[in-house]
A and B are shown apart, each in its own frame.
Chain A
């Protein structure tokens, strides 16, 4: 039941000793990067400043803006020849956040993904259908490598094309799938349309559902329809991607792999550490990263550590479901979207007026984004064709920025609600 029993069940004292040792090495490596050489020096911190895990709180925090401002090579701690892969998160406008990996980084990442999958019961005899987008997005390749490491047969199905997904499941007797929660719900309607009962007509017994926050109620709905066990997965590209934290068979919180990361929960306002059990912003430090070590990264994700040991025997602490964000990032169909991306695009388009509103809806099992855009009074020439052209241009421009196709409604100037000071930009109507 354990991929690496010794590490997964290591007693806390030994685990923390390992963390301090690895943090020291991380700081040594990090100080070779242009960014941290300066940042650590300015903060008066070096490898010698950590003696206990709690000392991590003395180190400077790193934000997504820091990564973006020093992109692409400011965080690089090795020669470029050492790099074998890059991934990029869907970032805000301008430069994307790019993460470079050495062979060692890919091996370490692959190992924790394999550990996570193995933990849920996946074995080398399994057939794994990876229904995630491959490419810069980490969810595709991350899981792909982990599954191969276990020795399972991997079907790199990619995202979308629901009928083919179901066909693949049936033809090759898929037993494990990886899929985003909103898509698995949508897929259930396709199963119904085709008259295929996943419980009777497929062999799937395990599903990994990640990249998108979802509720316990939604998980239960998914499990009831499909008859498989659905395990929650947490990751972010800055910390590799999937495999950072994962549910065990207890399905009560996700074990965060503390041999790979130092986990802190801080008060998002004061940035002071919070004790286990209290909700705050998660801050993570890489412990094995060679190419781009990252110290105290502000994930902007809100969660808490679930206090107490887990009956599964693993000693790595568990985090609760992500409760929300400390920034205004939205997640739609597994894609991270910042309202500022939409705002910047819109403001570049002649014809767009003062205000806009992003509305997220759930129709059945499908999530949609509608962007309501006020038309500029001066732009209007009394011509419907011109308006239709504007609408199409907005759709195209937004699609290129956020990678999903929103519905765009043109609305009358002054008709959208104006916030006090900061305009109200997002209405999220998605419920379970």
Chain B
């Protein structure tokens, strides 16, 4: 299943992330995970949020350059070797990961690893075949993450 990540083009300078989160806060958008990639003077801010379409609309209206981007939100076991199982599989199949970040769903039980890969459909199929679960946007929206520090 394909999930949607919201990506925002931003200059790499103080205040840009704050400008984005201010809008998301005002819109009562819940952020599940975030990641920032930069290339010198500019970068891309990525979010997994509970309502990517509404978030994209609000950010676009504020004049930002926004794109909803397909990613795979892979459900992993939160234990040693959990991520390795996924990455070994992708490596064997020569799938390249362009960007990735993760968050814990339930400490010592479940984690989500978000990957942006070069062959999305092939990878989606591959994971299904190997019984690795992925979450779509709705599933991501429905989950109630428990941060491990809460335990």
Chain A residues engaging chain B, CB cutoff 8 angstroms: 375, 377, 380-385, 387-388, 391, 409-415
**Residues of B38-60 contacting chain A, CB below 8 A:** 38-44, 46
| Residues of chain A within 8 A of B98, CB atoms compared | 383-385
| Residues of chain B within 8 A of A384, CB atoms compared | 37-39, 43-44, 98-99
Complex contact B7–A411 (CB within 8 A):
no
Complex contact A387–B44 (CB within 8 A):
yes
Q: How many A-B residue pairs have CB under 8 A?
A: 56
Interface centre among A377, A384, A388, A414 (most CB of B within 10 A): A384
CB distance from A363 to the nearest CB of B (A): 16
Chain B residues engaging chain A, CB cutoff 8 angstroms: 5-7, 9-11, 37-44, 46, 63-69, 98-99, 116
Q: Which of A385, A387, A391 contacts B9 (CB 8 A)?
A: A387
Interface centre among B38, B41, B68 (most CB of A within 10 A): B41
Complex contact A409–B41 (CB within 8 A):
yes
| Main SS at interface, chain A | mixed
| Residues of chain B within 8 A of A411, CB atoms compared | 11, 42
Q: Chain B residue with minimal CB distance to A372?
A: B41
CB distance from B124 to the nearest CB of A (A): 18
User: Complex: how many Å from CA A412 to CA B40?
Assistant: 14
Complex contact B42–A382 (CB within 8 A):
no
CB distance from A214 to the nearest CB of B (A): 30
Complex contact B44–A375 (CB within 8 A):
no
Complex contact A415–B69 (CB within 8 A):
no
Complex contact B11–A375 (CB within 8 A):
no
Complex contact B67–A382 (CB within 8 A):
yes
Chosen A-B contacts, 30 in total, with CB atoms closer than 8 Å, are A377-B65, A380-B9, A380-B65, A380-B66, A380-B67, A381-B69, A382-B7, A382-B44, A382-B46, A382-B69, A383-B69, A383-B98, A384-B38, A384-B43, A384-B44, A384-B99, A387-B9, A387-B39, A388-B39, A391-B39, A409-B40, A410-B9, A410-B41, A411-B42, A412-B9, A412-B10, A412-B65, A413-B63, A413-B65, A414-B63
| Residues of chain B within 8 A of A412, CB atoms compared | 9-11, 64-65
Q: Chain A residue with minimal CB distance to B63?
A: A414
User: Complex: how many Å from CA A377 to CA B44?
Assistant: 13
User: Complex: how many Å from CA A385 to CA B38?
Assistant: 10
| Residues of chain B within 8 A of A415, CB atoms compared | 11
User: Complex: how many Å from CA A414 to CA B37?
Assistant: 22
| Residues of chain B within 8 A of A382, CB atoms compared | 5-7, 44, 46, 67-69
User: Complex: how many Å from CA A387 to CA B11?
Assistant: 12
| Residues of chain A within 8 A of B9, CB atoms compared | 375, 380, 387, 410, 412
CB distance from A393 to the nearest CB of B (A): 14
Other A-B contacts than A375-B9, A380-B65, 14 sampled, CB-CB below 8 A, are A380-B66, A382-B44, A382-B46, A383-B116, A385-B98, A387-B42, A387-B44, A409-B40, A409-B41, A409-B42, A410-B42, A412-B9, A412-B11, A415-B11
| Residues of chain B within 8 A of A391, CB atoms compared | 39
| Residues of chain A within 8 A of B67, CB atoms compared | 380-382
Q: Chain A residue with minimal CB distance to B45?
A: A382
CB distance from A386 to the nearest CB of B (A): 9
User: Complex: how many Å from CA A193 to CA B5?
Assistant: 50
User: Complex: how many Å from CA A384 to CA B10?
Assistant: 11
User: Complex: how many Å from CA A409 to CA B99?
Assistant: 22
| Residues of chain B within 8 A of A381, CB atoms compared | 7, 67, 69
CB distance from A352 to the nearest CB of B (A): 13
Interface centre among A375, A377, A381, A412 (most CB of B within 10 A): A412
CB distance from A381 to the nearest CB of B (A): 6
User: Complex: how many Å from CA A132 to CA B40?
Assistant: 33
Q: Chain B residue with minimal CB distance to A411?
A: B11
Q: Which of B43, B65, B116 contacts A375 (CB 8 A)?
A: B65
User: Complex: how many Å from CA A384 to CA B42?
Assistant: 9
User: Complex: how many Å from CA A303 to CA B31?
Assistant: 62
| Residues of chain A within 8 A of B43, CB atoms compared | 384
Q: Chain A residue with minimal CB distance to B7?
A: A382
User: Complex: how many Å from CA A214 to CA B49?
Assistant: 56
User: Complex: how many Å from CA A387 to CA B65?
Assistant: 12
Complex contact B41–A383 (CB within 8 A):
no
User: Complex: how many Å from CA A411 to CA B64?
Assistant: 11
| Residues of chain A within 8 A of B39, CB atoms compared | 384, 387-388, 391
| Residues of chain A within 8 A of B66, CB atoms compared | 380
Q: Chain B residue with minimal CB distance to A415?
A: B11
| Residues of chain A within 8 A of B116, CB atoms compared | 383
Q: Chain B residue with minimal CB distance to A413?
A: B65
| Residues of chain B within 8 A of A375, CB atoms compared | 9, 65
User: Complex: how many Å from CA A380 to CA B56?
Assistant: 13
| Residues of chain A within 8 A of B46, CB atoms compared | 382
User: Complex: how many Å from CA A382 to CA B5?
Assistant: 9
Q: Chain A residue with minimal CB distance to B16?
A: A412
User: Complex: how many Å from CA A387 to CA B38?
Assistant: 10
User: Complex: how many Å from CA A414 to CA B41?
Assistant: 17
Give 8 nearest A-B pairs by CB, closest first.
A382-B7, A382-B69, A382-B67, A409-B41, A384-B37, A410-B42, A384-B44, A380-B65
| Residues of chain A within 8 A of B10, CB atoms compared | 412
User: Complex: how many Å from CA A3 to CA B100?
Assistant: 73
